[in-house]
A and B are shown apart, each in its own frame.
Chain A
Amino acid sequence: MLSDWIPDYDATAVKRMKDAGAVLMGKTNMDEFAMGSTTESSIFGPTLNPRDFNRVPGGSSGGSAAAVAAGFCPIALGSDTGGSVRQPSAFCGVQGMKPSYGQISRYGIVAYASSLDQVGPITRNIADMAAVLGVLAGPDPNDTTCDAYERPSFSETASAGIKGKKIAVLTGYDAESMDSPLIEAIEKAVGYCRSAGAEIVEAKLPITMKHAVACYYMVALGDASSKLACFDGMRYGHHSDGRSLVEMYKRSRNQGFGKEVRKRILIGTCILTRGYYENYYVPATKVRQMIADEYAELFKGVDSLICPISPALPYKKGLVEEDPVRMYLGDAFSSIANLAGLPSISLNVGFTEEGLPTNVQLMGPRFGDAGLLALAHAIENKAGSPPIADIEKKGGCRE
């Protein structure tokens, strides 16, 4: 739909990076309209995972994560609606963050779901992450959902340490169904926190664990069908002629959108129609509030939460075709932060014997981004920041 489109204005996030002296090296590959977890739905073709060319880099911001992991650039940006920055960061073995909702302006982000979307930086270490957040975060008259609170210096606060902090570890989910190296990664991260002086407690979040994925897909797909309705080929984007207005719309949209996008728009439209709206969408928005409340309650007693980011190690190519539902369930942990508007970091704590990255998820209270970066920094001090992927050794990226 937008393959030939060149925007005539800069997103605020891009403008801020440029104003800070960043050099824009190029655009990276992604799942079409940010709908996907593998980058395989891109009309430009898939992206290889620099850590293992037979596996996907994750998605939807797979290209950005792969670029950083492969050493093409130290910083890449993506947008995270249900995990689209953090899950590819986990699959490619780099650091990814979704700041609090309202931290960074969404002006210029092609919307997928307005109440869930947030710009997210991807870097190889937390010091860079804090610096980038410092550049990107701040109010914007073009986005009223971007909060005007006075941000601290994220770079300064990142090295604050976690001595005396209370950190919860999520329990109560089915660890058996997860890839075991990811469970070990959690244990490793917890150990690092202890040795850095933090107190560890356990936390159960029953409502969230039970309902997050379903809630996310109701809310996101409803919003997506709404936000993608403007793509009718009349003012921009792919246009197909027709004998009537409706025929033009149908042809432009059927031809311009890929299969996954069409699927999600149809489901979302269905969810918003009378009969379904009251029974699916509205309850989902209420459950969403319950999830946010469950977390607000949690963060009254603790400073941060450690939990998985993905239940699985990087998928082999083609999983989407085989088992789409399993792919959707992969958002179980990552979508929570979007639903509740909370900051979340996908942090690399090591690699398996086969060289596959193992990341963990860190979550904090709304606008507790500084504290969350401090936690990530403290763990990274022990775990080390991930190395650049050795793509030359694997036969180069021209494979």
Chain B
Amino acid sequence: MKRRSVIGLEIHLQLKTKTKLFCSCSSDYIGATPNTNVCPVCLAVPGTLPILNDHAVELGVKIGLGLHCSISDNTRFHRKHYFYADLPKAYQITQYEHPIAVGGYVDIFADGKEKRVRVHHLHLEEDAGKLVHPTSDGRLTGASILSLTTTAGECRFLRSFRNPT
């Protein structure tokens, strides 16, 4: 029986914003001491509210345009709920319906041919914290992520990567 692989990718891009997606903590976590660059907002202290980082939106739009996407006039954030030690609010602020950009493509070379990988959508979301069991580190919590989702498509050309010559 012949089988075909159908592969879609969801790629998380860490946006190079100075501060996190919803608070003014520095997002420069590399080398920082664990649990620094945190504040009541990204630690979900009661009574705090998210403030959207303009620059993250700008970067998202830029990347969207670069990938030939259609930029949404109206984009919305949703809460994705689950309980876990790296998720202070117990929900992640992400996008569900009405993401920041839809459609689009990126052309690549594979198997000696030009292939078009279609982008399904781009959406903004906040990063979770980092778990180094049994501790949790909030340096990353709330960092800006642009999630790029491709369409699920036939990726036979990827077979050549399995057996590089």
Contact indicator B46/A106 (Cβ below 8 Å)? no
Secondary structure class of chain A's binding surface, majority of residues: loop
Does any Cβ of B come within 8 Å of A144's Cβ? Answer: yes
Scan B85-118; emit 1 where CB is below 8 A from any A CB, else 0: 1001111000000000000000000000000000
User: Complex formed: what's the CA distance from A111 to B111 in Å?
Assistant: 55
Write the chain B residue with the least CB distance to A230.
Answer: B44
A234's closest neighbor in chain B, by CB?
B85
**Min distance, Cβ B118 to any Cβ of chain A, angstroms:** 28
A235 and B83 contacting across the interface, CB-CB below 8 Å = no
Scoring A residues 1 to 14 as 1 if CB is less than 8 Å from chain B, else 0, what string do you get? 01001011101000
Binary A-proximity of B47-68 (CB < 8 A = 1, otherwise 0): 1110110000000000000000
Contacts of B90 in A (CB 8 A): 229-230, 232
Q: How far is the CB of A346 from chain B (nearest CB, A)?
A: 25
B49 touches A230 (CB 8 A): no
With A9-B40, A144-B52 known as contacts, the answer to whether A230 contacts B47 (CB < 8 A) is no
A232 touches which of B40, B43, B46, B83 (Cβ 8 Å)? B83
Q: Are A106 and B40 in contact (CB under 8 A)?
A: no
Closest to A229 in B: B90
A82 to B66, CA, bound (A): 46
Chain B residues near A231: list those with CB within 8 A.
46
A85 to B127, CA, bound (A): 37
Q: Whose C-beta in chain B lies nearest to the C-beta of A107?
A: B49
- Which A residues lie within 8 Å of B51 (CB)? 141-142, 144
A2 neighbours in B (Cβ, 8 Å): 46
Contacts of A5 in B (CB 8 A): 46
B81: interface (CB < 8 Å): yes
Q: In the bound complex, do residue B47 and residue A108 qualify as a contact, i.e. CB atoms below 8 Å apart?
A: yes
Q: How far is the CA of A229 from the CA of B92 in the complex (A)?
A: 11
Interface residues, chain A, with chain B CB atoms under 8 Å away: 2, 5, 7-9, 11, 106-111, 114, 141-145, 226, 229-232, 234-236, 245-246, 249, 272
Top 10 nearest A-B pairs (CB, nearest first) are A229-B90, A110-B46, A108-B47, A230-B44, A230-B89, A110-B47, A143-B49, A230-B90, A109-B47, A249-B83
Q: List 20 A-B contacts (CB under 8 A).
A: A2-B46, A5-B46, A7-B45, A11-B47, A108-B47, A141-B51, A142-B48, A142-B49, A144-B51, A226-B81, A229-B81, A229-B91, A230-B89, A232-B83, A235-B43, A235-B44, A235-B88, A236-B46, A245-B85, A246-B83
- B-side residues, CB < 8 A to A, are 40, 43-49, 51-52, 79, 81, 83-85, 88-91, 136
